[in-house]
Amino acid sequence: MRLSKDPPKRALHETLSGRRQPVPPIWLMRQAGRYLPEYRKLREKFPSFVEFCLHPEAACEATLQPIARFDFDAAIIFSDILTVPLALGCAVGFGKDSGPAVTLPEGTPLSYAQDILSPVYEGIRLARAGLAPEKSLLGFCGLPWTLLLYMYNLPGEKDFASARRRIAMNRAEAERHIDLLTDACIAHAKAQAAAGADVIQLFESWGGHAPLYLRRRFCVEPAMRVVAALRESAPDVRTVWFAKGFGEAVGEYASQILPHGLSVDAATPLDAVVRRTDGMALQGNLDPYLLFAPEERLQEEARACLRATQGIPYVFNLGHGVLPQTETGKVQKLIETVREGACPG
Ligand code: CP3
């Protein structure tokens, strides 16, 4: 019998502590989002996406929706990585089909005002209170490189071309901003941990846009600083580094950054990473488009992820976020496949 004072065992937290679970925990990036009818209904109440993100009760509701429907092993706080640029004084807008638009403040230097993000922390407290004790609650943060691309990009530019030109033209400015973003990311991640997030996922969604000569200074070192700061200030919290676009080199970077878990994108073979990460927990990397494939194909590929990670601590997830057109029935099938088809040991 568990004494009431014992902390609850959480499958995600246990896995990220290096203890492989007989059935791997499962959650999905963007599990709270437009593929859910109940999300779309809630979304209608807010003309602006930023207002929605900064409304604690609504954010809590969106966070818990996928847990109520699918019983995932973990919830991720409903928010966005662009809340950090917002707190740095940028204007952040989300057009209907044009994606996010971030504008740097004119004439004033960036300065981080975390107060603006208090509703996120309140949302975390509410979500934690509404979540069963054995479920983890993830907080998250975009990493500096990915955020800088959004902050420097001009409206309508594809592949962040204007942002990448600006970095090349003024490298000193970009380094200053990367350092500022790193500090902001640390502060935001710590505040989420203090509010009750037991896992923090760090998103480097556009790592693949970082050329080799910038990767160490713009991606690896900032991530190292964030992970080290969290390990020191919140030793019970586990970190996951999601890096997209680094290919097989991701294992080498992860062994320098030392997150508790590495979330692998769909383009990188899991078994290649397994060989390079020496016991680190892995997460991922099912292609989100497989949720549009016939069921047998989806199941086959999900089982391939389980096989590739046999014997190591593993968290089932996609290689990127759930797409808005995904059918909820397919998500249900995926969860059943993972829970039934787990390879013990
Ligand atoms: O994962 C979750 O369920 C939690 C919520 C979450 C959102 N964004 C909600 C959201 C998380 C973890 C994010 C992270 C995020 N935001 C990333 C990193 C993850 C990734 O996908 O690579 C990035 C790059 C962003 C930036 C962002 N926010 C984009 C590019 C867009 C527009 C494109 C899109 O997917 O709609 C957003 C808006 C956004 N963030 C939506 C949601 C549910 C859709 C907005 C809406 O409902 O109107």
DSSP string, 211-242: -HHHHIIIIIHHHHHHHHHHHHH-TT-EEEEE
Residue 322 beta carbon below 6 angstroms from any ligand 1 atom? no
Q: What is the pLDDT of residues 116-148, one digit of tens each?
A: 999 999 999 999 999 999 999 999 999 999 999
Q: How far does residue 6's CA lie from ligand 1's centre (Å)?
A: 35
Residue 123 beta carbon below 6 angstroms from any ligand 1 atom? no
Task: Give the pLDDT band (50/70/90) at residue 245.
Answer: very high
Tell which one of 38, 65, 77, 81 to mutate to probe ligand 1, the residue whose CB is within 8 A of the most ligand atoms. 81
Q: How far does residue 141's CA lie from ligand 1's centre (Å)?
A: 12
Q: How far does residue 30's CA lie from ligand 1's centre (Å)?
A: 7
Q: Is 223's pLDDT higher than 80?
A: yes
Residue with the smallest CA separation from ligand 1 atom 9 is: 80
Residue 82 beta carbon below 6 angstroms from any ligand 1 atom? yes
Mean pLDDT computed over 71-85: 98
Out of 152-161, 261-270, 310-319, 327-336, pick the least confident.
152-161
Residue 46 beta carbon below 6 angstroms from any ligand 1 atom? no
Residue 251 phi, psi dihedral angles, 5° rounding = -65, -45
**159: left (phi > 0), else alpha (psi -120 to 50), else beta?**
left
What is the pLDDT at residue 4? 60
Task: Give the pLDDT band (50/70/90) at residue 47.
Answer: very high
Residue 292 beta carbon below 6 angstroms from any ligand 1 atom? no
Q: How far does residue 94's CA lie from ligand 1's centre (Å)?
A: 10
What is the pLDDT at residue 342? 59
Q: Is 280's pLDDT higher than 70?
A: yes
Does residue 30 have an active-site annotation?
A: yes
Q: What is the pLDDT of residues 2-34, one digit of tens each?
A: 556 677 899 999 999 999 999 999 999 999 999
What is the pLDDT at residue 275? 85
List 95's β-bridge partners, or say none. Answer: 99
Mean pLDDT computed over 274-299: 94
Contact 59, 79 (CB under 8 A): yes
Share of the chain above pLDDT 90, in %: 91
Sign of CA dihedral 221, 116, 114, 132: negative
Share of the chain above pLDDT 70, in %: 97
User: How far is the C-alpha of 175 from the C-alpha of 24, rounded, in Å?
Assistant: 39
